[in-house]
Homo-oligomer: A and B are copies of this chain.
Amino acid sequence: MTVRLEDLSSVVREAQYAVRGPIVARAQELERQGREIVYCNIGNPQALQQRPLSWVRQVLALAEYPELLERMPAGTFPDDVVATARLVLRQSGHGLGAYTDSKGMRFVREAVADFIRRRDGIAADPEAIYLTDGASKGVQTALRILVAGARDGILTPVPQYPLYSASIALLGGAQVPYQLDEGSGWRLSREALERACEGASAGGVRVRAIVVINPGNPTGAVLDEKNVEMVLGFAREHHLSVLADEVYQENVYRPGDRFVSFASALERRGIRDVSLFSFHSVSKGILGECGHRGGYFECRNVPEDVLEEITKLQSISLCANSVGQVVTYLLVRPPRPGDPSFALHEKERSGILDDLRRKAAIVADGLNAANGITCQLVAGAMYAFPRITLPPGVTDSAYCLALLEETGICVVPGSGFGQAPGTAHFRTTILPPIDRIGAVVKKIAEFHVSFCRKMTADGGR
Protein backbone atom coordinates (compact mmCIF):
# COMPACT_ATOMS: atom_id res chain seq x y z
CA MET A 1 0.00 0.00 0.00
CA THR A 2 1.41 3.39 -0.88
CA VAL A 3 1.33 6.33 1.47
CA ARG A 4 -2.03 8.14 1.29
CA LEU A 5 -2.93 11.76 1.82
CA GLU A 6 -5.49 10.83 4.47
CA ASP A 7 -2.79 9.16 6.57
CA LEU A 8 -0.79 12.37 6.89
CA SER A 9 -0.86 14.25 10.14
CA SER A 10 -3.57 16.90 10.19
CA VAL A 11 -0.98 19.51 11.17
CA VAL A 12 0.87 18.82 7.92
CA ARG A 13 -2.28 18.96 5.81
CA GLU A 14 -3.49 22.15 7.48
CA ALA A 15 -0.23 24.13 7.39
CA GLN A 16 -0.36 26.87 4.76
CA TYR A 17 2.40 28.93 3.18
CA ALA A 18 0.84 31.33 0.72
CA VAL A 19 4.07 32.99 -0.41
CA ARG A 20 4.67 29.85 -2.46
CA GLY A 21 1.05 28.70 -2.71
CA PRO A 22 -1.35 27.92 -5.61
CA ILE A 23 -1.04 31.34 -7.29
CA VAL A 24 2.72 30.90 -7.52
CA ALA A 25 2.23 27.39 -8.89
CA ARG A 26 -0.04 28.86 -11.59
CA ALA A 27 2.57 31.53 -12.37
CA GLN A 28 5.20 28.84 -12.91
CA GLU A 29 2.81 26.98 -15.18
CA LEU A 30 2.23 30.12 -17.26
CA GLU A 31 5.98 30.73 -17.39
CA ARG A 32 6.57 27.23 -18.74
CA GLN A 33 4.00 28.07 -21.41
CA GLY A 34 6.13 31.03 -22.43
CA ARG A 35 4.46 33.91 -20.55
CA GLU A 36 6.71 36.51 -18.99
CA ILE A 37 6.03 36.58 -15.25
CA VAL A 38 7.06 39.33 -12.82
CA TYR A 39 7.51 37.55 -9.51
CA CYS A 40 6.44 40.05 -6.85
CA ASN A 41 5.33 37.28 -4.50
CA ILE A 42 8.58 36.82 -2.65
CA GLY A 43 11.46 38.97 -1.40
CA ASN A 44 14.03 37.51 -3.77
CA PRO A 45 16.10 40.50 -4.92
CA GLN A 46 18.62 38.72 -7.14
CA ALA A 47 15.80 37.06 -9.09
CA LEU A 48 14.82 40.60 -10.08
CA GLN A 49 18.23 41.71 -11.31
CA GLN A 50 19.75 43.02 -8.07
CA ARG A 51 23.45 42.27 -8.41
CA PRO A 52 25.39 40.56 -5.62
CA LEU A 53 27.99 42.62 -3.74
CA SER A 54 31.45 42.02 -5.23
CA TRP A 55 32.93 41.78 -1.73
CA VAL A 56 30.81 38.75 -0.88
CA ARG A 57 31.33 36.84 -4.09
CA GLN A 58 35.05 37.51 -4.41
CA VAL A 59 35.74 36.10 -0.95
CA LEU A 60 33.50 33.09 -1.63
CA ALA A 61 35.27 32.29 -4.91
CA LEU A 62 38.64 32.23 -3.15
CA ALA A 63 37.33 30.26 -0.17
CA GLU A 64 35.79 27.64 -2.47
CA TYR A 65 38.93 27.20 -4.54
CA PRO A 66 41.95 28.33 -2.52
CA GLU A 67 44.34 27.38 -5.35
CA LEU A 68 43.20 30.60 -7.01
CA LEU A 69 45.17 32.43 -4.35
CA GLU A 70 48.32 31.00 -5.90
CA ARG A 71 47.27 30.86 -9.53
CA MET A 72 45.80 34.24 -10.31
CA PRO A 73 47.84 37.23 -11.44
CA ALA A 74 48.61 39.76 -8.68
CA GLY A 75 45.92 42.39 -8.36
CA THR A 76 43.07 40.20 -9.57
CA PHE A 77 41.44 40.64 -6.17
CA PRO A 78 41.82 43.52 -3.70
CA ASP A 79 44.17 42.81 -0.80
CA ASP A 80 41.43 42.84 1.82
CA VAL A 81 39.47 40.23 -0.15
CA VAL A 82 42.54 38.00 -0.25
CA ALA A 83 43.23 38.56 3.44
CA THR A 84 39.62 37.80 4.36
CA ALA A 85 39.57 34.61 2.27
CA ARG A 86 42.76 33.48 4.00
CA LEU A 87 41.23 34.31 7.37
CA VAL A 88 38.10 32.30 6.55
CA LEU A 89 40.18 29.30 5.47
CA ARG A 90 42.39 29.50 8.54
CA GLN A 91 39.62 30.14 11.07
CA SER A 92 37.25 27.54 9.66
CA GLY A 93 39.95 24.97 10.35
CA HIS A 94 39.09 22.78 7.36
CA GLY A 95 37.71 25.07 4.65
CA LEU A 96 34.12 24.95 3.42
CA GLY A 97 33.86 21.18 2.93
CA ALA A 98 33.67 20.03 6.54
CA TYR A 99 30.76 19.98 8.97
CA THR A 100 31.12 22.88 11.37
CA ASP A 101 30.21 23.12 15.05
CA SER A 102 26.48 22.54 15.51
CA LYS A 103 26.16 26.20 16.55
CA GLY A 104 28.18 27.32 13.56
CA MET A 105 31.82 28.31 13.16
CA ARG A 106 33.11 30.02 16.27
CA PHE A 107 34.88 32.87 14.44
CA VAL A 108 31.64 33.77 12.66
CA ARG A 109 29.72 33.76 15.94
CA GLU A 110 32.40 36.01 17.43
CA ALA A 111 32.06 38.39 14.49
CA VAL A 112 28.28 38.44 14.94
CA ALA A 113 28.71 39.25 18.64
CA ASP A 114 31.09 42.04 17.69
CA PHE A 115 28.57 43.35 15.13
CA ILE A 116 25.86 43.48 17.80
CA ARG A 117 28.26 45.30 20.15
CA ARG A 118 29.05 47.89 17.49
CA ARG A 119 25.45 48.27 16.34
CA ASP A 120 23.90 48.61 19.80
CA GLY A 121 26.73 49.41 22.19
CA ILE A 122 25.88 46.37 24.31
CA ALA A 123 27.69 43.16 25.23
CA ALA A 124 26.99 39.97 23.25
CA ASP A 125 27.97 36.35 23.86
CA PRO A 126 29.12 34.22 20.89
CA GLU A 127 27.95 31.11 22.78
CA ALA A 128 24.36 32.37 22.70
CA ILE A 129 24.47 32.85 18.93
CA TYR A 130 23.43 30.11 16.49
CA LEU A 131 24.16 30.19 12.76
CA THR A 132 21.28 28.88 10.67
CA ASP A 133 20.25 28.10 7.07
CA GLY A 134 18.47 31.44 6.65
CA ALA A 135 16.42 33.02 9.42
CA SER A 136 13.52 30.59 8.81
CA LYS A 137 15.32 27.63 10.34
CA GLY A 138 16.19 29.70 13.41
CA VAL A 139 12.58 30.76 13.86
CA GLN A 140 11.48 27.13 13.65
CA THR A 141 14.02 26.13 16.30
CA ALA A 142 12.96 28.90 18.69
CA LEU A 143 9.30 27.99 18.24
CA ARG A 144 10.11 24.36 18.94
CA ILE A 145 11.60 25.45 22.25
CA LEU A 146 8.51 27.51 23.10
CA VAL A 147 5.66 25.28 21.91
CA ALA A 148 5.25 22.13 23.99
CA GLY A 149 1.59 21.39 23.35
CA ALA A 150 -1.72 22.42 21.82
CA ARG A 151 -2.40 24.93 24.61
CA ASP A 152 0.86 26.82 24.11
CA GLY A 153 0.07 30.02 22.26
CA ILE A 154 2.28 32.38 20.28
CA LEU A 155 1.17 35.97 19.70
CA THR A 156 1.62 36.73 16.00
CA PRO A 157 0.80 39.94 14.17
CA VAL A 158 -2.05 40.30 11.67
CA PRO A 159 -0.93 40.59 8.97
CA GLN A 160 2.09 38.29 9.52
CA TYR A 161 4.70 36.50 7.48
CA PRO A 162 3.21 32.99 7.10
CA LEU A 163 6.39 31.23 8.22
CA TYR A 164 5.04 31.85 11.72
CA SER A 165 1.54 30.45 11.26
CA ALA A 166 2.86 27.46 9.30
CA SER A 167 5.57 26.62 11.85
CA ILE A 168 3.24 26.99 14.83
CA ALA A 169 0.72 24.74 13.04
CA LEU A 170 3.38 22.08 12.35
CA LEU A 171 4.38 22.11 16.01
CA GLY A 172 0.74 21.65 17.03
CA GLY A 173 0.63 24.93 18.96
CA ALA A 174 -1.88 27.77 19.01
CA GLN A 175 -1.49 30.92 16.97
CA VAL A 176 -2.77 33.93 18.92
CA PRO A 177 -3.26 36.73 16.40
CA TYR A 178 -2.99 40.40 17.34
CA GLN A 179 -4.19 43.06 14.92
CA LEU A 180 -1.91 45.82 13.64
CA ASP A 181 -3.69 49.14 13.04
CA GLU A 182 -3.71 49.81 9.32
CA GLY A 183 -5.23 53.26 9.67
CA SER A 184 -2.22 54.52 11.61
CA GLY A 185 0.47 53.02 9.39
CA TRP A 186 0.13 49.49 10.79
CA ARG A 187 0.93 50.64 14.31
CA LEU A 188 1.44 48.01 17.01
CA SER A 189 -0.66 48.98 20.03
CA ARG A 190 -0.67 47.68 23.57
CA GLU A 191 -4.45 47.50 23.47
CA ALA A 192 -4.38 45.00 20.60
CA LEU A 193 -1.88 42.86 22.48
CA GLU A 194 -3.97 42.91 25.67
CA ARG A 195 -7.10 42.05 23.71
CA ALA A 196 -5.41 39.09 22.00
CA CYS A 197 -4.01 37.80 25.30
CA GLU A 198 -7.36 38.02 27.01
CA GLY A 199 -9.05 36.11 24.22
CA ALA A 200 -6.40 33.39 24.38
CA SER A 201 -6.63 33.02 28.16
CA ALA A 202 -10.40 32.78 27.94
CA GLY A 203 -9.93 29.92 25.47
CA GLY A 204 -7.57 28.07 27.81
CA VAL A 205 -4.44 28.94 25.84
CA ARG A 206 -1.27 29.74 27.76
CA VAL A 207 0.51 32.47 25.80
CA ARG A 208 4.24 31.72 25.76
CA ALA A 209 5.75 34.30 23.44
CA ILE A 210 5.16 37.23 21.13
CA VAL A 211 6.44 37.53 17.58
CA VAL A 212 7.31 41.02 16.34
CA ILE A 213 8.52 41.62 12.79
CA ASN A 214 10.44 44.89 12.60
CA PRO A 215 10.63 46.38 10.01
CA GLY A 216 7.31 44.80 9.19
CA ASN A 217 6.61 42.04 6.71
CA PRO A 218 4.22 42.51 4.96
CA THR A 219 3.36 45.92 6.41
CA GLY A 220 6.52 47.96 5.77
CA ALA A 221 6.13 49.67 9.16
CA VAL A 222 9.18 50.53 11.30
CA LEU A 223 8.84 50.47 15.09
CA ASP A 224 10.19 53.37 17.13
CA GLU A 225 11.94 53.02 20.44
CA LYS A 226 8.75 53.51 22.45
CA ASN A 227 7.03 50.70 20.53
CA VAL A 228 9.89 48.31 21.17
CA GLU A 229 9.95 49.19 24.86
CA MET A 230 6.18 48.80 25.07
CA VAL A 231 6.45 45.25 23.72
CA LEU A 232 9.17 44.38 26.22
CA GLY A 233 7.10 45.81 29.08
CA PHE A 234 4.11 43.85 27.89
CA ALA A 235 6.15 40.64 27.62
CA ARG A 236 7.49 41.18 31.11
CA GLU A 237 4.07 41.63 32.66
CA HIS A 238 2.63 38.63 30.86
CA HIS A 239 5.69 36.38 31.37
CA LEU A 240 6.33 36.02 27.64
CA SER A 241 9.42 35.39 25.56
CA VAL A 242 10.01 37.66 22.57
CA LEU A 243 10.81 36.53 19.02
CA ALA A 244 12.19 39.57 17.20
CA ASP A 245 12.30 39.06 13.44
CA GLU A 246 14.81 41.74 12.47
CA VAL A 247 15.83 40.49 9.06
CA TYR A 248 14.94 43.83 7.43
CA GLN A 249 17.02 45.92 9.84
CA GLU A 250 19.00 47.48 6.99
CA ASN A 251 15.84 48.21 4.97
CA VAL A 252 14.72 51.50 6.51
CA TYR A 253 13.78 54.18 4.00
CA ARG A 254 11.97 57.06 5.64
CA PRO A 255 14.19 59.95 6.71
CA GLY A 256 14.23 60.20 10.48
CA ASP A 257 13.33 56.54 11.03
CA ARG A 258 15.95 54.25 12.43
CA PHE A 259 16.04 50.60 13.33
CA VAL A 260 15.91 49.94 17.09
CA SER A 261 16.85 46.39 18.03
CA PHE A 262 15.02 44.54 20.76
CA ALA A 263 18.39 43.57 22.25
CA SER A 264 19.39 47.20 22.70
CA ALA A 265 16.08 48.15 24.35
CA LEU A 266 16.24 45.08 26.60
CA GLU A 267 19.73 45.99 27.78
CA ARG A 268 18.96 49.69 28.16
CA ARG A 269 16.11 48.84 30.49
CA GLY A 270 18.14 46.16 32.23
CA ILE A 271 15.47 43.51 31.67
CA ARG A 272 16.60 40.09 32.86
CA ASP A 273 13.29 38.26 33.11
CA VAL A 274 12.29 38.18 29.42
CA SER A 275 13.91 35.68 27.05
CA LEU A 276 14.69 37.23 23.69
CA PHE A 277 15.37 35.42 20.43
CA SER A 278 16.36 37.80 17.64
CA PHE A 279 16.80 36.77 14.02
CA HIS A 280 18.89 38.10 11.18
CA SER A 281 19.56 36.89 7.65
CA VAL A 282 21.80 37.38 4.62
CA SER A 283 18.74 37.14 2.35
CA LYS A 284 17.40 40.65 2.84
CA GLY A 285 19.05 43.99 3.65
CA ILE A 286 21.50 44.99 0.96
CA LEU A 287 23.05 41.58 0.26
CA GLY A 288 19.87 39.83 -0.91
CA GLU A 289 21.79 36.53 -0.85
CA CYS A 290 18.64 34.40 -0.49
CA GLY A 291 20.06 31.35 -2.25
CA HIS A 292 22.96 31.06 0.16
CA ARG A 293 20.66 30.41 3.14
CA GLY A 294 22.68 32.20 5.79
CA GLY A 295 21.46 33.74 9.01
CA TYR A 296 21.71 33.66 12.77
CA PHE A 297 19.70 33.99 15.92
CA GLU A 298 20.87 35.46 19.18
CA CYS A 299 19.47 34.39 22.55
CA ARG A 300 19.35 36.70 25.57
CA ASN A 301 18.17 35.75 29.04
CA VAL A 302 17.95 32.14 27.97
CA PRO A 303 19.23 29.76 30.68
CA GLU A 304 22.26 27.60 29.98
CA ASP A 305 20.29 24.33 30.14
CA VAL A 306 17.87 25.59 27.48
CA LEU A 307 20.77 26.73 25.28
CA GLU A 308 22.09 23.17 25.51
CA GLU A 309 18.76 21.85 24.25
CA ILE A 310 18.92 24.29 21.33
CA THR A 311 22.43 23.08 20.51
CA LYS A 312 21.18 19.50 20.58
CA LEU A 313 18.34 20.35 18.19
CA GLN A 314 20.80 22.05 15.83
CA SER A 315 23.11 19.03 16.01
CA ILE A 316 20.45 16.61 14.74
CA SER A 317 20.78 18.21 11.30
CA LEU A 318 24.55 18.54 11.95
CA CYS A 319 25.08 22.23 11.05
CA ALA A 320 24.01 25.11 8.85
CA ASN A 321 25.67 25.18 5.44
CA SER A 322 29.21 26.50 5.64
CA VAL A 323 28.93 28.96 2.74
CA GLY A 324 25.89 30.63 4.33
CA GLN A 325 27.93 30.92 7.52
CA VAL A 326 30.71 32.68 5.64
CA VAL A 327 28.22 35.02 3.94
CA THR A 328 26.94 35.86 7.43
CA TYR A 329 30.53 36.71 8.39
CA LEU A 330 30.84 38.97 5.34
CA LEU A 331 27.54 40.67 6.24
CA VAL A 332 28.68 41.55 9.76
CA ARG A 333 32.31 42.34 8.82
CA PRO A 334 32.11 44.53 5.71
CA PRO A 335 35.14 46.44 4.37
CA ARG A 336 36.09 49.39 6.58
CA PRO A 337 37.16 52.91 5.61
CA GLY A 338 40.69 52.66 4.28
CA ASP A 339 40.33 49.06 3.09
CA PRO A 340 40.93 48.58 -0.66
CA SER A 341 37.38 47.24 -1.18
CA PHE A 342 35.70 49.98 0.80
CA ALA A 343 34.93 52.43 -2.01
CA LEU A 344 33.40 49.85 -4.37
CA HIS A 345 31.49 48.25 -1.53
CA GLU A 346 30.01 51.59 -0.47
CA LYS A 347 29.10 52.42 -4.04
CA GLU A 348 27.33 49.09 -4.55
CA ARG A 349 25.61 49.28 -1.16
CA SER A 350 24.33 52.80 -1.51
CA GLY A 351 23.22 52.09 -5.07
CA ILE A 352 21.06 49.21 -3.88
CA LEU A 353 19.71 51.09 -0.87
CA ASP A 354 18.89 54.21 -2.94
CA ASP A 355 17.07 52.07 -5.49
CA LEU A 356 15.05 50.36 -2.77
CA ARG A 357 14.17 53.72 -1.20
CA ARG A 358 12.99 55.10 -4.52
CA LYS A 359 11.07 51.95 -5.37
CA ALA A 360 9.31 51.98 -1.98
CA ALA A 361 7.97 55.45 -2.81
CA ILE A 362 7.08 54.60 -6.41
CA VAL A 363 5.05 51.56 -5.30
CA ALA A 364 3.11 53.30 -2.52
CA ASP A 365 2.44 56.43 -4.57
CA GLY A 366 1.51 54.51 -7.70
CA LEU A 367 -0.93 52.23 -5.87
CA ASN A 368 -2.52 55.12 -4.00
CA ALA A 369 -3.18 56.82 -7.31
CA ALA A 370 -5.69 54.10 -8.21
CA ASN A 371 -9.26 54.49 -7.10
CA GLY A 372 -10.04 51.67 -4.66
CA ILE A 373 -6.46 50.97 -3.54
CA THR A 374 -5.09 52.43 -0.30
CA CYS A 375 -1.45 51.81 0.49
CA GLN A 376 0.31 52.77 3.72
CA LEU A 377 3.74 54.32 3.51
CA VAL A 378 6.45 51.72 2.87
CA ALA A 379 8.79 52.92 5.62
CA GLY A 380 10.90 49.77 5.62
CA ALA A 381 11.33 46.12 4.55
CA MET A 382 10.61 45.11 0.92
CA TYR A 383 6.85 44.99 0.56
CA ALA A 384 3.66 46.96 0.17
CA PHE A 385 0.44 45.55 1.60
CA PRO A 386 -2.25 47.73 0.03
CA ARG A 387 -5.89 47.50 0.96
CA ILE A 388 -8.17 46.91 -1.98
CA THR A 389 -11.87 47.55 -2.32
CA LEU A 390 -13.39 44.59 -4.11
CA PRO A 391 -16.81 44.09 -5.65
CA PRO A 392 -19.13 42.00 -3.44
CA GLY A 393 -18.45 38.29 -3.56
CA VAL A 394 -14.94 38.60 -5.00
CA THR A 395 -12.10 37.18 -2.87
CA ASP A 396 -8.57 38.51 -2.77
CA SER A 397 -7.41 35.14 -4.13
CA ALA A 398 -9.64 35.49 -7.19
CA TYR A 399 -8.33 39.03 -7.60
CA CYS A 400 -4.67 38.00 -7.46
CA LEU A 401 -5.28 35.12 -9.86
CA ALA A 402 -6.98 37.46 -12.33
CA LEU A 403 -4.09 39.93 -11.96
CA LEU A 404 -1.65 37.14 -12.78
CA GLU A 405 -3.61 35.86 -15.77
CA GLU A 406 -4.11 39.33 -17.19
CA THR A 407 -0.77 41.04 -16.51
CA GLY A 408 1.73 38.29 -15.62
CA ILE A 409 2.34 40.01 -12.26
CA CYS A 410 2.45 37.54 -9.38
CA VAL A 411 1.43 38.86 -5.94
CA VAL A 412 0.05 37.10 -2.85
CA PRO A 413 -3.50 37.56 -1.51
CA GLY A 414 -3.89 39.23 1.89
CA SER A 415 -5.65 36.14 3.21
CA GLY A 416 -2.25 34.39 3.13
CA PHE A 417 -0.97 36.86 5.76
CA GLY A 418 -4.14 37.47 7.74
CA GLN A 419 -6.23 40.65 7.64
CA ALA A 420 -9.08 42.28 9.54
CA PRO A 421 -12.46 40.69 8.75
CA GLY A 422 -14.19 42.35 5.84
CA THR A 423 -10.97 43.78 4.40
CA ALA A 424 -8.96 42.61 1.40
CA HIS A 425 -5.29 43.21 0.58
CA PHE A 426 -2.41 41.82 -1.40
CA ARG A 427 1.32 41.78 -0.81
CA THR A 428 3.70 42.87 -3.50
CA THR A 429 7.44 43.24 -3.24
CA ILE A 430 9.06 46.54 -4.22
CA LEU A 431 11.83 44.62 -5.99
CA PRO A 432 11.34 44.87 -9.77
CA PRO A 433 14.21 46.86 -11.34
CA ILE A 434 14.03 50.64 -11.00
CA ASP A 435 13.46 51.13 -14.74
CA ARG A 436 10.47 48.77 -14.70
CA ILE A 437 8.84 49.22 -11.31
CA GLY A 438 6.80 52.21 -12.46
CA ALA A 439 5.28 50.21 -15.31
CA VAL A 440 4.54 47.26 -13.01
CA VAL A 441 2.70 49.47 -10.53
CA LYS A 442 0.81 51.22 -13.32
CA LYS A 443 -0.31 47.85 -14.68
CA ILE A 444 -1.59 46.81 -11.25
CA ALA A 445 -3.47 50.09 -10.86
CA GLU A 446 -5.03 49.81 -14.32
CA PHE A 447 -5.92 46.19 -13.74
CA HIS A 448 -7.61 47.10 -10.46
CA VAL A 449 -9.89 49.65 -12.06
CA SER A 450 -10.84 47.50 -15.05
CA PHE A 451 -11.27 44.34 -12.95
CA CYS A 452 -13.58 46.05 -10.47
CA ARG A 453 -15.58 47.66 -13.26
CA LYS A 454 -15.98 44.34 -15.05
CA MET A 455 -16.84 42.34 -11.94
CA THR A 456 -19.32 44.92 -10.75
CA ALA A 457 -20.97 44.89 -14.17
CA ASP A 458 -21.08 41.07 -13.97
CA GLY A 459 -22.65 41.31 -10.54
CA GLY A 460 -19.61 39.62 -9.06
CA ARG A 461 -20.19 36.33 -10.85
Contacts and interface: CB of A to CB of B under 8 A. Distances in A.
Contact of A317 (B8, B137, B301): B137
Contact of A5 (B20, B99, B305): B305
Interface in A1-54: 1-5, 7-10, 12-13, 15-17, 19-20, 28, 42, 44-47, 52, 54
Given A76-B72, A302-B3, A316-B136, A99 B8 contact: no
B140 A309 contact: no
A453 interface: no
Given A2-B274, A2-B275, 8 more contacts: A47-B98, A144-B170, A166-B316, A167-B316, A291-B321, A291-B323, A293-B320, A293-B321
Interface in A106-158: 133-134, 136-137, 140, 144-149
A145 B9 CA distance: 7
B3 A42 contact: no
8 contacts: A3-B146, A4-B303, A9-B147, A47-B93, A72-B76, A98-B290, A291-B323, A293-B322
B291 A96 contact: yes
A202 interface: no
A12 to B, nearest CB: 6
A317 B133 contact: yes
Interface stretch (A61-69, A249-257, A400-408): A61-69
A322 B145 CA distance: 28
A100 B303 contact: no
Contacts of A166: 316
A460 to B, nearest CB: 30
B42 A317 contact: no
A17 B321 contact: no
A61 B68 contact: yes
Contacts of A170: 144, 316
B65 A100 contact: no
Interface of A: 1-5, 7-10, 12-13, 15-17, 19-20, 28, 42, 44-47, 52, 54, 57-58, 60-62, 64-65, 67-68, 71-73, 76, 93-102, 133-134, 136-137, 140, 144-149, 163, 166-167, 170, 208, 239, 241, 272-275, 283, 288-293, 301-303, 305-306, 309, 312-313, 315-324
A52 B17 contact: no
Contacts of A208: 3, 7
Copies in the complex: 2
Nearest to A139: B317
A315 to B, nearest CB: 4
B52 A60 contact: no
Contact of A145 (B3, B52, B324): B3
A4 B306 CA distance: 7
Contacts of A320: 293
A68 to B, nearest CB: 6
Contacts of A95: 46, 52, 291
Given A64-B60, A76-B72, A134-B318, A291 B98 contact: yes
Contacts of A319: 291, 293
Contacts of A163: 316
Nearest to A68: B61
A70 to B, nearest CB: 11
Contacts of A15: 312-313, 316
Contact of A12 (B60, B290, B313): B313
Nearest to A148: B9
A17 B323 contact: no
A2 B302 contact: yes
Nearest to A62: B61
Contacts of A97: 45-46, 52, 288-292
B292 A2 contact: no
Nearest to A76: B71
